[in-house]
């Protein structure tokens, strides 16, 4: 399969679609998932046009997962989480829906299950509030 530059994450990277950004560096971008399965659910993507883990270069993987760790630490702190789940899906059979490689950072609390993926979007003010908390944790 080839990379499709019209995917939603490519549009976010080009500034053609909005996203509630929590972290950005030269190689990666992290932003709030608009259909969160947990409060503070964040997505981390490479800026390179990479469809799946299998297409990624070692350099893309190294920088992506370094950012996943940075974002995960801030998210756990900001959201007062007891732990976290990291998810990454590849191709439709593996559960991938947007075909730009991305990693889900999901803060978790003891006894609180993940919400189902219903396709319902979270209110913008909720996403902004969670993003602000996570961004503040980078400063702490």
Q: What is the pLDDT of residue 117?
A: 86
From CA 39, how far away is CA 33, in angstroms rounded? 10
Element containing residue 12 per DSSP (H, E): helix 8-13
Q: What is the pLDDT of residue 120?
A: 87
Mean pLDDT of 101-129: 95
Q: What is the pLDDT of residue 94?
A: 97
Asked whether residue 72 carries a pLDDT value surpassing 80, the answer given is yes
Q: Is 102 a catalytic residue?
A: yes
Asked which of 47-56, 71-80, 97-106, 118-127 is least confident by mean pLDDT, the reply is 118-127
Q: Using 50, 70 and 90 to split pLDDT, how confident is the model at 139?
A: confident
Q: 13 is written with which tokens? A: 């990277």
Mean pLDDT of 32-45: 98
What's the distance, CA 41 to chain centroid? Answer: 7
Homologous superfamily (CATH) of 8-139 is: HIT-like (3.30.428.10)
Q: What is the pLDDT of residue 41?
A: 98
> 41, 102, 104, 130: which is the annotated catalytic residue?
102
> 28, 44 in Cβ contact below 8 A?
yes
Mean pLDDT of 98-117: 96
Q: What is the pLDDT of residue 92?
A: 96
Q: What is the pLDDT of residue 57?
A: 97
Asked whether residue 140 carries a pLDDT value surpassing 80, the answer given is no
Mean pLDDT of 42-64: 97
Q: What is the pLDDT of residue 1?
A: 81
């Amino acid at each position: 399969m080839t990379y499709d530059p019209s995917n939603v994450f490519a549009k976010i990277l080009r500034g053609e679609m909005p996203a509630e950004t929590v972290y950005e560096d030269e190689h990666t971008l992290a932003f709030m998932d608009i259909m969160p399965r947990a409060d503070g659910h964040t997505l981390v993507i490479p800026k390179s046009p990479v469809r799946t883990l299998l297409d990624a270069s070692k350099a893309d993987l190294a920088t992506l997962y370094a950012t996943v760790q940075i974002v995960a630490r801030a998210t756990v702190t900001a959201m007062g989480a007891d732990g976290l789940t990291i998810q990454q899906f590849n191709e439709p059979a593996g559960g991938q829906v947007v075909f730009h490689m991305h990693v889900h950072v999901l803060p978790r609390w003891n006894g609180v299950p993940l919400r189902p993926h219903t396709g319902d979007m979270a209110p913008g003010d909720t996403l902004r509030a969670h993003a602000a908390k996570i961004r503040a944790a980078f400063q702490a």
